[in-house]
A and B are shown apart, each in its own frame.
Chain A
Amino acid sequence: MKKINPLKIIPFYKNEKVLIKRAISGNREAQKWLYDSFAPKMLGVCRQYIKDLQFAEDVMIEGFVKVFRHLEGFKHEGSFEGWIRRIMIRECISHLRKRQFVVYDDEVFEKNHMETTPTGEPLDENHMQYLIDGLPEGYKMVFVLYSVEGYKHAEIAEMLSISENTSKSQLFKARRMLRDKLRALEMREARNISNKA
């Protein structure tokens, strides 16, 4: 692969608009720089929704192909990162729908209700991701969109093609499930401490 001259990259970095224009014109260095800048964050976003990292990476690749294909459509009115992030989230939703992961049936959710958490360590990124991964896909998507990404129920309802009330209900149940998991975790931690004592 062709090595990128860092001297050429520095002025690119200073002006994102110029970089995007060059990427639109087909400049491979500019495209690579954009990819390198945003790919790690976007893979983190995809991983929030998709449990399997390989699938998450595939979705991120698909998202970046769409980003470069529709780069001319970016009007520089908002954050470029936010624009890419929206594309990635929509791509994740589309992926989950295609694979029929999303189930909005309450009975299915109750089966996974008492899943145990494996660690007694303090809550880090991986631990939180593990807790979220334990949620059913429908709960998880609404929870991540609302609590992590900051979308409103109306926006979530439009993105997932559900009603606002369903979105609110899903969020309520997701929170309840997470609370139960947290309590179970705390009880386990307390037992471990008493056993050690």
Chain B
Amino acid sequence: MELNELEKLAREKLGSREIRPSDRAWTEVAGRIDHQKKSPKRFKPWYAAAAVLIGLIIGSMVLLNKPEMAVGTEEIVNTPLNEEAPAEAKAPQDIPPKTAETNPVVLAETEEPSEENQVLTGELHEEDEILDDNQQIATVVETETPVELGTDISLLDEEDSVIASKVAEVVSQVALLEQNDGTVSDAEVDSLLRKAQEELLKERIFRKDNSVDAVALLNEVEAELDQTFRDRIFEKLKTGFIKVRTAVADRNN
């Protein structure tokens, strides 16, 4: 037999040859197909990594935003009290110096500590009528003064003379400004009062026995915090304004 014949024969016979497999073959095939169907989906590490990454991003965003929100809310709550609280002691004296005509009245009030004491001991409603033109300050006096009255009456008595001297100093400065410029704006009066208030607070921190007044120290720190917050607001307004101005200038060009 030639090789070609053998190859031809092999192609015909072996190509179509059938061998019956054993019975266990189908059982094994079926079992393995079932196992593949029942086997749970493979763990996909990419999905897990993506989920962890998203979680970290969300968590970091929450953590980074939270302190800013806390500072913001704290300032919103405290700012009016901090700004107004120191004014309570001088509230009856702050309003009158706005005009030159009321100066003698203010001086009279400050020179008579007994009237101040009356205000502090409960006759606040009479003072409110005088201060009707500035309701904000009046309400602060109503709400805040009783707390201080119960605790620091003796302290206020001691400091009355100091406050009176400060008020007199402010009034003299306002009078000087009026003489020089003719009119004095509210902003100028406010700045003078604030400056006097800060000086009073600084003096109040240290007592006569060289100990530190914790309440006064806290008030000062809070005032500084308020100042920084205000500075930040102004800074942002300024940068925003510059940006808008630049954008408008660019557009016009």
Answer whether residue B32 sits at the interface, using C-beta atoms and an 8 A cutoff: yes
B19 in complex: contacting residue of A43, A131, A186, CB < 8 Å: A43
Interface residue count on the B side (C-beta < 8 Å): 27
Answer whether residue B17 sits at the interface, using C-beta atoms and an 8 A cutoff: yes
- Rounded to whole Å, the gap between the CB of A106 and the closest CB of chain B is 20
Query: Is the pair B21, A57 in contact by a Cβ cutoff of 8 Å?
Result: yes
Answer whether residue A20 sits at the interface, using C-beta atoms and an 8 A cutoff: no
Answer whether residue B202 sits at the interface, using C-beta atoms and an 8 A cutoff: no
B14 in complex: contacting residue of A1, A53, A125, CB < 8 Å: A125
Query: Which residues on the A side are within 8 Å of B25 (C-beta)?
Result: 39, 57, 60-61, 64
Answer whether residue B58 sits at the interface, using C-beta atoms and an 8 A cutoff: no
Query: Is the pair A65, B14 in contact by a Cβ cutoff of 8 Å?
Result: no
Using known A-B contacts A128-B9, A178-B6, determine if residue A39 contacts B14 with beta carbons closer than 8 Å: no
- Rounded to whole Å, the gap between the CB of B10 and the closest CB of chain A is 5
Interface residue count on the A side (C-beta < 8 Å): 40
Query: Is the pair B1, A123 in contact by a Cβ cutoff of 8 Å?
Result: yes
Query: Is the pair A123, B9 in contact by a Cβ cutoff of 8 Å?
Result: yes
Query: Which residues on the A side are within 8 Å of B48 (C-beta)?
Result: none
Query: Which residues on the A side are within 8 Å of B26 (C-beta)?
Result: 32, 35-36, 39
B3 in complex: contacting residue of A31, A129, A175, CB < 8 Å: A175
Query: Is the pair A26, B21 in contact by a Cβ cutoff of 8 Å?
Result: no
Query: Is the pair A43, B21 in contact by a Cβ cutoff of 8 Å?
Result: yes
Most buried by B among A1, A53, A61: A61
Within A14-59, the residues touching B (CB, 8 Å) are 26, 28, 31-32, 35-36, 39-41, 43-44, 47-48, 53, 56-57
In the bound assembly, the distance between CA atoms of A48 and B14 in angstroms comes to 8
In the bound assembly, the distance between CA atoms of A68 and B37 in angstroms comes to 11
Using known A-B contacts A39-B21, A57-B21, determine if residue A44 contacts B33 with beta carbons closer than 8 Å: no
- Rounded to whole Å, the gap between the CB of B150 and the closest CB of chain A is 84
Query: Which residues on the A side are within 8 Å of B10 (C-beta)?
Result: 128, 132, 147-148
Query: Which residues on the B side are within 8 Å of A186 (C-beta)?
Result: 1
In the bound assembly, the distance between CA atoms of A64 and B37 in angstroms comes to 15
- Rounded to whole Å, the gap between the CB of B178 and the closest CB of chain A is 96
In the bound assembly, the distance between CA atoms of A159 and B3 in angstroms comes to 25
Query: Is the pair B3, A178 in contact by a Cβ cutoff of 8 Å?
Result: yes
Query: Is the pair A40, B9 in contact by a Cβ cutoff of 8 Å?
Result: no
Of the A-B pairs whose beta carbons lie under 8 Å apart in the complex, a sample of 7, sorted by A's number, is: A1-B27, A44-B18, A65-B36, A128-B9, A128-B13, A129-B14, A148-B10
For the complex of A and B, 9 pairs with smallest distance between CB atoms: A40-B18, A44-B17, A43-B19, A147-B7, A125-B13, A64-B29, A65-B32, A43-B21, A44-B19
